[in-house]
Structure 1
Amino acid sequence: MLTYDVALTFIGIATLLAWVPGPDNLFVLTQSALCGPRDGILVTVGLCLGLVGHTVAVAMGVAVVFQQSEMAFSLLKYAGAAYLVYLAYQALRAKPERLANTGIAKRSAKAMILRGVVMNLTNPKVAIFFLAFLPQFTDQSRGSVAGQIMLLGGLFILCAFASFATISLVAGGLSRWLRGSPWGQTLLNRAAGVVFLSLAVKLATSQR
């Protein structure tokens, strides 16, 4: 359904986009640095599961709702912004001991994956981006457009996972140093809080 040339071009562009600083890879970066590479990978899995949802939404035409309905778009983006504010609050009030011994460092795999899913699905900009981006690589002469979109979404998810997993492993190395540095833990918590607040403001003020 997809030609080799189309797939190769798409993979190159998708990989490049995955590395452009944005809410998802910044989220992976901060979570990996705070909690370690394992939790960064788990958050990445959650983000990619969210991308599955956006891909299905585009294939089924559901994403059009967020493009055409101001209310639907606003409700979802404000929910996402509120979640980011909550994460910022947690990061800003966290104490060094919490990172070293309890709390966020020991969240279950399910909790970390869910964190990534919620982060991704509550951003309507992703759905609209997929709605504008994926169809550009489809062609009715190659068969079902919905099927092609699902394949393209799958390729995008693979590229995103590989890119975000690399970020997780690199940034996760910082967490080992943080275990023995209360000052470093506090500094990174404050930085993470600022990043989450910035992402919340950006999402809340975004337009369709």
Structure 2
Amino acid sequence: MSIAFLLTTLIVVATPGTGVIYTLAAGLSHGRRASVVAAFGCTLGIVPHMLATITGVAAVLHTSAVAFQTLKYLGVAYLLYMAWATLRDKDALLVEDEKAPRSTTRTIVSGVLINILNPKLTMFFFAFLPQFVGFDEPDSLVRMLELSAVFMLLTFAVFAAYGILAASVRSHVTSRPRVMTWMRRVFAGSFVSLGAKLAFAAR
């Protein structure tokens, strides 16, 4: 495994995007455990894109405008829903130890959907993996699976680190009502911004 692959992967996963925003929000809203669960959900959301690339479905998205646009706008709609839900839930960032933790399943499903409904991730894998694996070389399928596994492992590690860091300052941030209000607005605005970016994304 090349250093170039590892460095490129770290840069890609560490760059703030929908997954990072969601994991940070989970850490601030519900603590360390929720942030790790959110990171796991986002990582699981990579699997369909990885499989799409390896099986050639990415080529269909690349050549079919209808398929790409359909998936893209489903993603936009979900990001806007996340923005609305963040603004609506005024208690999301409150620290209450006696409050029941957020459902693990719900957290994972939200993380999975955030990444599944992003066709740019499939296109990224389609353009990224072939740079490090030749399709005509022996065991290319195994090689792509190995690199994809490393990508997912680093994604989980980086996202979890973001979330745990956010959770560590949770009480300092959420104990201030004005800060809490602005944090909700920032997260909601981030989801809207990422949705707009996805809406105008070309294949």
**TM-score over 0.5 (shorter chain):** yes
1:101–1:192 CA distance, 2 compared to 1 (3 A)? same
Conserved 8 A contact 1:34-1:188: no
Aligned pairs for 1:26-45 within 5 A: 26-45=21-40
Q: 1:167-198 CA deviation, whole Å, 9 max, x = no partner?
A: 11111123222443332222211111111111
Runs ≥4 residues deviating over 6 A: none
Q: Hey, what's the Cα distance between the residues in 1 that align with 2:75 and 2:65?
A: 15
Task: Indicate the SS of the match to 1:106.
Answer: coil
Which of 65, 68, 78 is equivalent to 2:73?
Answer: 78
Conserved 8 A contact 1:33-1:171: yes
Which of 167, 171, 188 is equivalent to 2:162?
Answer: 167
Q: Which residue in 2 is equivalent to 1:126?
A: 121
Which shifted more, 60-69 or 10-19? 10-19
Task: Indicate the SS of the match to 2:124.
Answer: helix
Q: Hey, what's the Cα distance between the residues in 2 that align with 1:10 and 1:97?
A: 38
Q: Which residue in 1 is equivalent to 2:147?
A: 152
Conserved 8 A contact 2:23-2:159: yes
Structure 2 unmatched runs, 5+: none
Deviation at 1:40, TM superposition (A): 1.6
- The aligned length equals 202
Conserved 8 A contact 2:24-2:163: yes
Aligned pairs for 1:8-27 within 5 A: 8-27=3-22
Deviation at 1:97, TM superposition (A): 7.3
Q: Hey, what's the Cα distance between the residues in 2 that align with 1:130 and 1:124?
A: 10
Q: Hey, what's the Cα distance between the residues in 2 that align with 1:98 and 1:16?
A: 29
- The answer as to 2:182 corresponding to 1:183 is no
Conserved 8 A contact 2:86-2:92: no
Q: Which residue in 1 is equivalent to 2:52?
A: 57
Conserved 8 A contact 1:60-1:146: no
Q: Hey, what's the Cα distance between the residues in 2 that align with 1:119 and 1:157?
A: 15
Q: Which residue in 2 is equivalent to 1:114?
A: 109
Deviation at 1:98, TM superposition (A): 7.0
Which shifted more, 119-128 or 75-84? 75-84
Task: Indicate the SS of the match to 1:151.
Answer: helix
Partner amino acid, structure 1, of 2:32: P
Percent of aligned pairs with the same amino acid: 34
Deviation at 1:64, TM superposition (A): 1.2
Q: 1:81-139 CA deviation, whole Å, 9 max, x = no partner?
A: 1111111111112224773459x983211110111100000000000000000111113
1:178–1:96 CA distance, 2 compared to 1 (3 A)? farther
Structure 1 unmatched runs, 5+: 1-5
Deviation at 1:37, TM superposition (A): 2.3
Deviation at 1:60, TM superposition (A): 0.6
Which shifted more, 182-191 or 59-68? 182-191
